[in-house]
Structure 1
Amino acid sequence: MKILGISGSASLQSSNFYLLKAIQNEINEKHSMKIIENLSEFPLFTPQRLENGIPKSVLNFKKELIHNDAIILSTPEYTHNIPAVLKNMIEWCTHSGEFESKKIIAMTFTPYEPRGKFAMQSLLSSLKAMKANIITQFPLYRTDVTFSNREISFTEESKTLIKEAVELLE
């Protein structure tokens, strides 16, 4: 199965990106996974931009959405919501349907409980509006992983959770 990992963070050094890299390492024997880490390349969506043509960065992203079987989306929580770059990415796909019926694992990755709760609500609302097929959703916290030189290792419990979630995509 081909999986697209999307880091919803505006930061290029995001822990959400490194989380997706760790997931990629866990599942690479069974599935191929490509990670999109920089949504900040997308210009701000406005309906008028559609009239002038879709930017190449957005077109390339939409092709990735189409050519992958599933998506693992990981986001932090900014001011009780998803980051603006993630919302902007979703808006670029609102009318074109790339998310429709696409299998998705939605995750929040934040420092500690209960952070991430509001971001998850916002993310799920947007994905449901796009008619995405949300297979499962869950929060992960820094207490569920170990950081070492920008690499993430999972606890046994979180490793099992990740593997079971990916199995649901099959």
Structure 2
Amino acid sequence: MRFLAISGSARTGSTNTALLRVLQDAAPRGIELSVFDGVGCLPVFSPDLDGPNPPEAVRRFMRMIGESDGLIVSSPEYVRSIPGGLKNAIDWLVSGEAIVDKPVALAHASHRGDDMLESLRTVLSTVSGRFTPDIFLRLPLMKMEPAEISQIVGSPELRRQAQAYLQAFARFCADDTKPAGGSMPF
């Protein structure tokens, strides 16, 4: 099972990117997780650039999504909303097929951010028929450095929790007859 984990942050020392990297390291056998931390490198969406030949950075991003079995999105909250870079990345996907039936789950590296999460859930459930709001990993890591996050989430208890989250998402991805829904809190 191949997952693409998308960080909604353009910041080099992003807490959400660090969380995704720890998930990458914790991935159990049979799950491969790649991290995309390049939302800040995508050009601003324009319908004039959309179509069969989008910019190269967008083609690479779409190819990564197309090659994955599922997407994990982890994002900070900016002014109680989805960061512009992440929204821009999602905008590039709207007219294509890459995300339409792609399973999508959320992870979040803060105890705050409920307004952004609500908006992000609305957007993702609009663009993917397989967004599952119930497979959700939330850890209070806000303002921690990547090394500290790695140490905390690397503890046996949180590592097991991260692996259980990834395994639940893998089961959801494998069951292509299952619509979004259910209840699997993490």
- TM interval, shorter chain, is 0.7 to 0.9
* 1:119 counterpart (116, 119, 125): 116
Question: Mean alpha-carbon deviation: is it higher for 49-58 or for 33-42?
Answer: 49-58
8 A Cα contact 1:9 1:85, kept in partner: yes
- Deviation of 1:47 (Å): 1.3
Matched with 2:147 is 148
Question: Mean alpha-carbon deviation: is it higher for 88-97 or for 146-155?
Answer: 146-155
Could you say what the CA RMSD is over the residues aligned between the two structures, in angstroms? 2.3
8 A Cα contact 2:62 2:98, kept in partner: yes
1:16-165 equivalent positions in 2, closer than 5 A:
16-50=16-50, 53-110=53-110, 113=111, 115-135=112-132, 136-142=135-141, 148=147, 151-154=150-153, 155-165=155-165
The share of aligned pairs that are identical, in percent, is 23
Structure 2 regions of 5+ residues with no counterpart? 172-186
Question: Once the two structures are superposed, what CA deviation does each residue of 1:8-61 show, in whole Å capped at 9, x if it has no partner?
Answer: 102122111111111111115331111111211111102122269410000011
8 A Cα contact 2:72 2:104, kept in partner: yes
TM-score, length-scaled by structure 2: 0.79
TM-score, length-scaled by structure 1: 0.86
CA separation of 1:152/1:163 partners in 2, compared to 1, >3 Å: closer, same or farther?
same
CA separation of 1:98/1:21 partners in 2, compared to 1, >3 Å: closer, same or farther?
same
List structure 1 runs of 4+ shifted beyond 6 angstroms.
none
Equivalences, count: 166
8 A Cα contact 2:18 2:146, kept in partner: no
C-alpha distance in 2, partners of 1:42/1:109?
A: 23
CA separation of 1:4/1:57 partners in 2, compared to 1, >3 Å: closer, same or farther?
same
Which one has the bigger strand percentage? Answer: 1
Letter of the aligned partner of 2:74 in structure 1?
Answer: S
